[in-house]
Structure 1
Amino acid sequence: MTAPTPLDLPAPDAEAYLAWLKDSSDEALAAARAGVAALKEQPPATALATLQAWNDVDIALGSTMARSSLFSEVHPDAGVRDAADEASREARQLSTEFGLDPDLYAVFARFDDAVLGGAEQDEAGLDEQGRRLLERTLRSFRRSGVAADPETRARIKEIRERLTVLGQTFAKTIREGTKSIRVTPEQLAGLPQDWIDAHPADADGLVTVTTDYPDAVPFRTFAHDADARRALSIASLTIGFPANVPVLHELFGLRAELAGLLGYDSWPDFDAEVKMIGTGAAIEEFIDKIADAALAPAERDLGILLERLRQDRPDAERVESSDAAYYAEAVRREQHDVDAQLVRTYFDFARVRAGLLDVTGRLFGLTYTPRPDLPVWHEAVTAHDVTRTADGAPLGRIYLDLHPREGKFKHAAQFNLVNGVEGRYLPEGTLVCNFPIGLMEHSDVVTLFHEFGHLVHHLVGGHQPWVEFSGVATEWDFVEAPSQMLEEWAWDAEVLATFATNTDGAAIPADLVARMRRADDFGKGYFARTQMFYAALSYHLHRENPADLVGRTRELQERYSMFPYVEGTCMPASFGHLDGYGSGYYTYMWSLVIAKDMFSAFDPDHLFDAEVATRYRDRVLAPGGTKDAADLVAEFLGRPYSFDAYAAWLDE
């Protein structure tokens, strides 16, 4: 068998990308249509052969969705981004059409008894993974609405196609909606000198500060001017406002209607059915459980923040969100002896990136080989081939797109480029972030480790025979756990010393890292409450679709967050996770509970212990979606996961 080869990207110009996107998408979608037509016209005799044919269809559809989703968010040319959006719409429309096709469903349903009845492999033609795939394929058809009457199926199709457009519109408004404030040079007091040097005054004598992360995070953390911090905070909270408000109302309404047509009480009930949490009601219960557990530490730390704020403003009654990062930094500096401006001198971007590859390579047995000869879509993007260190076997390819630019995705995420299939396609993925080119905040370093965890999961788990189980294909409320656990390596003094060095070459001192860790514990209670505010937004807005989006946001913020609502803002209109995560933003905290438990298996003094790291890689990451997440974790830990490690951490 010929070894699989990586994807050939086009030359880095708009015309080449437009042609490549169209040709590759047209070819893949035509193959998917032909595959489905063949399945219906002459269904294979066995369940195995049927699933193999369906695997080819799934691969074809997935390839278009992966590349179009990526390039709609990262390509520097707006025309290419629009073309990628169109290719994504076509693929999703075709997927909806397949899911609602009763004749196609019948091809699979004839084997239903083989799964539910527990027939032997030689009778059904399936091994354990084949059974799992057939079961999930049948479930997907049923959740698509294939059993509905023709009129209902037509409405479902209409809704799903409209939801695709709404999701793209929502994301585009945020992606292209960067805002800015203009301040005097005097209002930059408190910011690091390298940041000030990179932001010269314009002809009017004013400095522009954008809502992009490399501007906003340092400004809200270090700028002494409270009014300027508040102005930038308001700008960030209104990126999608008011344009995205009607988009959200229509999106929430259509999702609720779709859930009803499919036989569910609400969108959260439909959404949660295939997640670890199971039911919509359990989401609200989990949100309240975390919020209650976090209340005491949140109130304690908020009191410390308020006390420090009153040193500057004696009449202050509450801590505003625009003051939180600034005064948390003051507390860490003054009470924990951690100066973030000193800390950042150890985190030069280039050294951090190299260190990240060294650390994850050592931990997971991977070798990254730079490929400067490969074409990329922007000059800031780097490509690396990934092999298994032990035997040099190719594992895949990664692209790192880590700095902001106009029209690019505004947050941090991993995007699939190629979904791996054993013996056929090597997995390829892209890390998309918005970090500064020079010195990084340590929080940026933690984010980089987190997001790279998704990339490792995609690569290591991307060698399954069934593309449905390839890579990060576990339940959606587990996918953050491996990445959250990898953050721990960005807090270890010995790990950081391998790449965190200042301009004199001195490694970050271990006692400073210890103080950083203690200081980072400050605020975790009110951070958890903020996360539960976001989770409550995603849950309740989908359940209720309130007419007054601003008013409901205010109510939920007062209930869950420790910081008051900011007048004139509408945070949901800029909250990109409301599309992709739907009603399930709780998953970040659900995953963190599991991540804390998984990390308990590692010895904090020996984070590169080969036995534990290999067991984790092989039992949690490598299986992809071939097993339920709870089973993967139990096999690694030797017991079911529990809430205990998270609760202990929160209470420290």
Structure 2
Amino acid sequence: MKTLSALLAGLSLFISPLQASAGSIASAAPPALPRAVGTGISFQLTPQQITQRYTSAKAQLEAALRLVVALPADQRTFANTVKAMESASADFSDAVEPMSILGYVAADPLVREAARSLEEEAGQYQVALWARPEIYRAFKQYADKKETLTGEDARLLEETERGFKSSGHALSEADRAKLSQIRQRLTVLSTQFEANIADDQGFIDMPIEDLKGMSEDYIASLKRTPEGKHRVTLAYPHYIPFMDGAHSAEMRRQLWTKFNNRAAKKNPPLMVEALRLRDESAILLGYPSFPAMQLENRMAKSPGQVMDFLKRLYAMVRDRGQAELKAMLEVKLQDDPTAKRLEAWETSYYGEKLRKAKFAFDEEEVAKYFPVDKVVSGTMRVYEKLFGVKFSEVPAEGAHHPDVRLLRVDDAAGGGTLGYFYLDLHPREGKYTHAAVAGLIKGRELENGRYQRPVALMMANFPEAVPGKPALMRHEDAVTYMHEFGHGLHQILTKAKYASFSGTSVARDFVETPSQMLENFAWQREVLDEISGHYEDASRKLPPELFEKMLAARSFNRGLLYLRQIAFGMADMTLHMIVPKETSMLFGQFMELVGLIPSPDGVKREASFGHLMAGYSAGYYGYLWSEVLADDAFTRFAKEGVLNSVVGMLWRREVLEKGSSRPEIDSMRAYLGREPNEDAFIQKLLR
């Protein structure tokens, strides 16, 4: 899933200058912000403290920029102008992002609301801040000197100039003001869109007869109402197993509709407005469309290249997807001889029935071998072997919830502590409902020569313990965990000089590559021996015969899976190209014509498609683009050894440590020793 830099995009100009509110430059430096010991973060904040700390952080940024602006033109250097702006922006981000994340994870609704307000205000603030002519003038006075720079310094100058261009400094004063207003409004729309999804905590209270087909453990995990019913929520640990196994077609229909209609009343108008404003911003800046603007600095360089890529993949998997759909319909015909098609709420159910019939294994049986604690500890051991690190669990003092765990990450070769990684693994009311990793503190070189230790946070919604059993994961949950942990490693193992290039601050169509590459490890016997162990006896690893069945089923319904991703990518790009006044019809057409699964009338699936309103706007294709590179990257491990530490350290050194301090394609070339290609990905598609 997405890194939270996508959700919190814009809290640093040079990471994303698109979300940044105006204020005058402060006349006096504020007192330093208090910093906690260890990670440097205190999550135990009241709404008032959030406001106070934000005000202080903004004052510090203003004071730092005031000093930059005041310099005479002939005294400007890279260090006192470009680097000083970067450092001031990074300091602001380090102060604000750990508070913004509380809008997604805090248990107290008042704290969540305060953090969301902060995120919105900070985004608006930075939009207007970096549109100020006096700040751009200071930058241009240095840039006009045309000094020779190399390496990351040269790249920072280039990216900073691009950021100022994006802020409209080549426009007239009136157009620049209009662009700033648009960008500020887009910040508000994005924050509101995500908040509306998070706040739609739907559920259905069901009598026991509606839970036929569900396991005893599943039923035991459900909250009981005073009336004796069982509450099935929209959280993944409830929703996914229910759609896979519940016998009641009517209750599956109701739950599917609630899940896919989250925020359906509030969000569609926000999306329509955002599409229009993005298009207006691109036109103001001289681009033919918003996608053309977004793709300028990505690996895919044009909307045409993206659509050609997606169409080519569609042609490869269309027939396979249609055959898979037909096979599931044949299973449904055994229940309903008059059936003509599969409904959207039936695909998971009949897909699971067909998978069990073909491969003779049950996910509930598999889950017994993947206790959450075992997956957590085993994943650490695997990544220790691969990447030359050492994980230690330390007290998560000051964390935002008692369930949160904290890992210290040390360099195994004696290089000291590299960073910290929070794990927030289980669902709760008001928490972000998907899986993501937030970079809270960016790794970067500080003015005193010390390297700042990065801090990251994983948010996930894995199953909780039930009476008599620990928390257990399905294998797909273990894959997700290894993926998300990969985002954390990308953040923590960085050696980038500047925050703008640190960790996951890479091209949006590359950011998933390191984590998608690691998904492959969850299918390797050597790795499964590390991360699996029966909950009753950890020495009992995943049985070989069960593993063989899982491998045989790995490509099951793969055609439909990729058609769904292609449909999302095409819908995203087309919505941003056409800019319709109503989104549901077009979105639904792509889901039906490309994804092959129609939605009933009145369902607004795009209302909960948060990617389109965050960092993946005109960028959802990036999941597939990144996967091509990820599969190519894994070929070295497949050939030279799954747990080969030499290859692992090469990946760490050439990709994870670099971030975007050089073009991502150069990092891939350095790791592979050749040009990247699609061969491994295409072979997987055709298996």
| TM-score normalised by length of structure 1 | 0.94
How far does residue 596 in structure 1 lie from its aligned partner after superposition? 0.8
**What is the percentage of aligned positions where both structures have the same residue?**
32
Which amino acid is 1:457 matched to?
H
- Is 1:37 the equivalent of 2:66? yes
Q: State the distance in 1 between where 2:277 and 2:38 align.
A: 39
Residues 148-182 of structure 1: per-residue CA shift (max 9 Å, x gap): 11111111111111111111110001001021123
How far does residue 112 in structure 1 lie from its aligned partner after superposition? 4.0
Paired residue secondary structure (1:429): strand
Whether the 8 Å contact between 2:131 and 2:164 is mirrored in structure 1 is: yes
Hey, what does 1:528 align to over in structure 2?
Answer: 562
- Is 1:22 the equivalent of 2:54? no
Whether the 8 Å contact between 1:99 and 1:146 is mirrored in structure 2 is: no
- Is 1:433 the equivalent of 2:468? no
Whether the 8 Å contact between 1:476 and 1:587 is mirrored in structure 2 is: yes
- Is 1:156 the equivalent of 2:179? yes
How far does residue 34 in structure 1 lie from its aligned partner after superposition? 1.5
Write out aligned runs for 1:200-599 (5 A): 201-372=224-395, 374-422=397-445, 423-437=450-464, 438-461=471-494, 463-502=495-534, 503-505=536-538, 506-580=540-614, 581-599=616-634
Q: State the distance in 2 between where 1:11 and 1:243 align.
A: 30
Could you tell which deviates more after superposition, 573-582 or 62-71?
A: 62-71
Hey, what does 1:610 align to over in structure 2?
Answer: 645
How far does residue 198 in structure 1 lie from its aligned partner after superposition? 1.9
Residues 612-636 of structure 1: per-residue CA shift (max 9 Å, x gap): 1111111111111111111111111
Q: State the distance in 2 between where 1:263 and 1:357 align.
A: 48
Which amino acid is 2:617 matched to?
G
How far does residue 313 in structure 1 lie from its aligned partner after superposition? 2.1
Could you tell which deviates more after superposition, 333-342 or 298-307?
A: 298-307
Unpaired segments ≥5 residues, structure 2: 1-35, 465-470
Whether the 8 Å contact between 1:421 and 1:470 is mirrored in structure 2 is: yes
How far does residue 242 in structure 1 lie from its aligned partner after superposition? 1.6
Paired residue secondary structure (1:626): coil
Could you tell which deviates more after superposition, 308-317 or 235-244?
A: 308-317
Hey, what does 1:627 align to over in structure 2?
Answer: 662
Paired residue secondary structure (2:437): strand
Which amino acid is 2:517 matched to?
M
How far does residue 467 in structure 1 lie from its aligned partner after superposition? 1.3
Whether the 8 Å contact between 2:272 and 2:582 is mirrored in structure 1 is: no
**Between Structure 1 and Structure 2, how many residues are aligned?**
637
Whether the 8 Å contact between 1:72 and 1:85 is mirrored in structure 2 is: yes
Which amino acid is 2:587 matched to?
T
Hey, what does 1:61 align to over in structure 2?
Answer: 92
- Is 1:94 the equivalent of 2:125? yes
Which amino acid is 1:69 matched to?
S
- Is 1:640 the equivalent of 2:672? no
Hey, what does 1:180 align to over in structure 2?
Answer: 203
How far does residue 373 in structure 1 lie from its aligned partner after superposition? 5.5
Whether the 8 Å contact between 1:66 and 1:417 is mirrored in structure 2 is: yes
How far does residue 11 in structure 1 lie from its aligned partner after superposition? 6.7
How far does residue 394 in structure 1 lie from its aligned partner after superposition? 0.8
Q: State the distance in 1 between where 2:521 and 2:285 align.
A: 44
Which amino acid is 2:136 matched to?
Y
Q: State the distance in 2 between where 1:212 and 1:25 align.
A: 32
Paired residue secondary structure (1:346): coil
**Which of 54, 57, 72 is the equivalent residue of 2:103?**
72
| TM-score normalised by length of structure 2 | 0.89
Paired residue secondary structure (2:225): coil
How far does residue 330 in structure 1 lie from its aligned partner after superposition? 1.8
Paired residue secondary structure (1:498): helix
**How has the CA–CA distance of structure 1 residues 583 and 65 changed in structure 2, closer, same or farther, with 3 Å as cutoff?**
farther
Which amino acid is 1:418 matched to?
I
Paired residue secondary structure (1:600): helix
Q: State the distance in 1 between where 2:304 and 2:661 align.
A: 27
Whether the 8 Å contact between 2:506 and 2:660 is mirrored in structure 1 is: yes
Q: State the distance in 1 between where 2:102 and 2:399 align.
A: 11
Which amino acid is 2:122 matched to?
A
RMSD across aligned positions (CA): 1.9
Which amino acid is 1:434 matched to?
N
How far does residue 199 in structure 1 lie from its aligned partner after superposition? 2.3
Unpaired segments ≥5 residues, structure 1: 116-122
How far does residue 401 in structure 1 lie from its aligned partner after superposition? 0.7
Whether the 8 Å contact between 1:620 and 1:636 is mirrored in structure 2 is: yes
